[in-house]
């Protein structure tokens, strides 16, 4: 029996780490991509290994097509194949629109949008070449509705929806499914970077369900979409945000 594998980008913490754990619990061996916190990545790997699955660490950014190709190849070399790719790596440097520079714009688009596209391309090429009916999951965001300090970020997360739908059409003939998940306010380092605890509490109270989401709740949806139970689902965008779009 072939053991399924998954590559999760940006998996040293937050939603990425939760995705790695959830996919491991669902029976996948995991390639954990990390950027700048090896100890955190090692801790995630240790949990996965303790649960009886293989885990490998792959350090690197996803800001260029070459970096994406190298990362995917590293996962293949370490685990033998890729069945699932989770494009989770992303950055959100807050900046006022009127002060935003071209360099800031380019960096966010390179990591969040180009990185997702070219990691997906590299993984899909491998899947097609080896007849793997794989799964690609892209991380969008509720910021598709706008982010006052993230014009560049909102642009990338809206773009994720476009490339998800287009890749789903392009890869459907190969049996590869592509879906997007758009989390709302989730208790990770990203919202804590730009807001105080008091501000986060007020933001959470404003949601219909009255609290922030947990990374594990986002990861649970990922595990489902990566499973055979979801094998007729592709090209979709799943908003998981505590009911914010009802408000």
Is 193 assigned a catalytic role? no
Instruction: With beta carbons less than 8 A apart as the criterion, state whether 52 and 45 touch.
Output: no
Using a 10 angstrom Cβ sphere, with 0-12 exposed, 13-18 middle and 19 or more buried, the burial of residue 188 is buried
Q: Report pLDDT for 195.
A: 75
Instruction: With beta carbons less than 8 A apart as the criterion, state whether 25 and 223 touch.
Output: yes
Residue 67 has pLDDT above 80, yes or no: yes
Residue 131 has pLDDT above 80, yes or no: yes
A 10 A CB-CB count for 172 gives 13
Residue 245 has pLDDT above 80, yes or no: yes
Out of 74-88, 96-110, 181-195, least confident range: 181-195
Q: In percent, how much of the chain has pLDDT > 90? A: 88
Q: Is 147 helix (H, G, I), strand (E, B) or coil?
A: coil
Does residue 172 or residue 206 have the better pLDDT? 172
Residue 32 has pLDDT above 70, yes or no: yes
- CA-to-CA distance for 10 and 60, rounded, in angstroms? 9
Q: Is 33 helix (H, G, I), strand (E, B) or coil?
A: strand
Question: Judging by DSSP bridges, how do beta strands 237-240 and 5-8 pair with one another?
Answer: unpaired
Q: What is the mean pLDDT of residues 101-125?
A: 98
Q: Which of 153, 224, 238, 245 is catalytic?
A: 153
Residue 247 has pLDDT above 70, yes or no: no
Q: Report pLDDT for 246.
A: 76
- Model confidence pLDDT, tens digit, residues 177-218: 999 999 999 888 777 776 788 888 888 898 999 999 999 999
Does residue 220 or residue 200 have the better pLDDT? 220
- CA-to-CA distance for 53 and 213, rounded, in angstroms? 27
Q: What is the mean pLDDT of residues 213-227?
A: 97
Locate tokens 């069945």: which residue?
83
């Amino acid at each position: 029996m072939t053991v399924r594998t998954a590559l999760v980008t940006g998996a040293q913490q937050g939603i990425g780490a939760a995705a790695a754990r959830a996919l491991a619990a669902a029976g996948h061996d995991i390639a954990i991509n990390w950027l700048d916190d090896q100890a955190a990545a090692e801790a995630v790997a240790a949990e996965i290994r303790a649960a009886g699955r293989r885990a490998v660490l792959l350090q690197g950014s996803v800001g260029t097509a070459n970096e994406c190709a190298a990362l995917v190849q590293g996962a293949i070399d370490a685990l033998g194949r890729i069945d699932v790719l989770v494009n989770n790596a992303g950055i959100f440097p807050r900046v006022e629109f009127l002060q935003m520079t071209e360099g800031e714009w380019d960096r966010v688009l390179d990591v969040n949008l180009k990185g997702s596209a070219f990691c997906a391309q590299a993984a899909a090429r491998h899947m097609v070449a080896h007849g793997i009916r794989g799964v690609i999951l892209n991380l969008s965001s509720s910021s598709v509705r706008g982010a006052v300090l993230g014009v560049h970020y909102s642009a990338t997360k809206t773009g994720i929806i476009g490339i998800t739908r287009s890749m789903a059409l392009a890869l459907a003939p190969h049996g590869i499914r592509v879906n997007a998940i758009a989390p709302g306010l989730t208790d990770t380092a990203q919202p804590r970077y730009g807001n105080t605890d008091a501000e986060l509490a007020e933001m959470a109270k404003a949601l219909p369900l009255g609290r922030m989401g947990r990374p594990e709740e986002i990861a649970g949806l990922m595990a489902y979409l990566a499973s055979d139970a979801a094998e007729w689902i592709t090209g979709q965008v799943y908003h998981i945000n505590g009911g914010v779009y009802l408000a």
